Amino acid sequence: MPDQSPPLLTGTSIKEYFRELVDAAMQSQRVKVAQVTEFYLVNLLAEFLSTQNLFPAEEGDEPLAFMLKRAQEQRGFERIRELKRLGDTSLYISGFFGDSLGGRLVDVDYYVAMGGRAYSALSEMFHGANVEELYLELSEKFIRLVDLLGEISDRTVFKTNQGLIRLYERYVKTGSERVAKILSEEGVLPIKPPDPGFVQ
């Protein structure tokens, strides 16, 4: 007899899960965005749940400058697709992996600049169309949206004890107020990390 039990997560339930996370992060940070921008973020999170969508096999972990160069060389739909990919990749990586970019050759500011530039170019390409406001808001609020995704990343990390420990280690390393708030909500009292300039 075939197994008739439904899958644990469907495409719809995944999007609903991310919608709840986006709503919670927006309330926590008192950020307001247009409904279409909220939907865009939910779809972005659902799409990049698979690393194959974040780093397609044929392109791998491609530098953002290469994406921008290719976008500038394209016209029409291909240019739109490349700019969108550049903006989405920059937003997701700087939001979910911003803390780990500090020791790299390029830091989170580079991702923010490239992503904001890509969305701004898209808003200009769609001047007068309905989606112009979407890309304009993504561009103008890019840093705030990075913080939103950062909080969503933190909130998904602590779902296990190991994740909670990693989150606490991140707080000790960075002193992030956002992480401290999440730890407090989970009943963990964060101890303020010492001032790096302090000598005993």
**pLDDT (tens digit per residue) in 52-70:** 666 654 454 667 888 888 8
Whether residue 162 is found in the same domain as residue 149: no
In a domain, residue 186? The reply is yes
**Residues 6+ away with beta carbon under 8 Å from 49:** 14
Whether residue 164 is found in the same domain as residue 76: no
In a domain, residue 4? The reply is no
Which two tokens mark 62?
Answer: 């491609």
Burial track 127-157 (b if 16+ CB lie within 10 A, e otherwise): eeeeeeebbbbbbebbeebbbbbbbbbbbeb
Read off the pLDDT band of 139 (50, 70, 90). very high
Whether residue 130 is found in the same domain as residue 145: yes
pLDDT at res. 90: 92
What HEC string does 50-89 produce? CHHHHCCCCCCCCCHHHHHHHHHHCCHHHHHHHHHHHHHH
Whether residue 39 is found in the same domain as residue 62: yes
Residue 177 is part of which domain span?
158-192
Whether residue 139 is found in the same domain as residue 174: no
In a domain, residue 115? The reply is yes
Whether residue 109 is found in the same domain as residue 89: yes
pTM of the model: 0.71
Alpha helices, DSSP H, located in 50-189: 51-54, 64-73, 76-96, 108-125, 132-140, 142-157, 161-174, 177-185
- Distance, CA of 67 to CA of 71 (rounded, Å): 6
- Domain count of the fold of the chain: 2
| Best-predicted range by mean pLDDT (15-29, 30-44, 92-106) | 30-44
pLDDT at res. 1: 41
pLDDT at res. 118: 95
Kindly report the average pLDDT of the chain as a whole number.
77
* Residue the block writes with tokens 């392109």: 59
Q: Taking 90 as the threshold, does the pLDDT of residue 111 lie above it?
A: no
Whether residue 134 is found in the same domain as residue 169: no
In a domain, residue 6? The reply is no
- Measure Cα distances from 107 to 53, 97, 99, 117 in Å: 22, 10, 9, 16
Q: Taking 90 as the threshold, does the pLDDT of residue 46 lie above it?
A: no
Whether residue 147 is found in the same domain as residue 187: no
Whether residue 130 is found in the same domain as residue 69: yes
Which two tokens mark 52?
Answer: 């194959």
Whether residue 55 is found in the same domain as residue 92: yes
Q: Taking 90 as the threshold, does the pLDDT of residue 33 lie above it?
A: yes
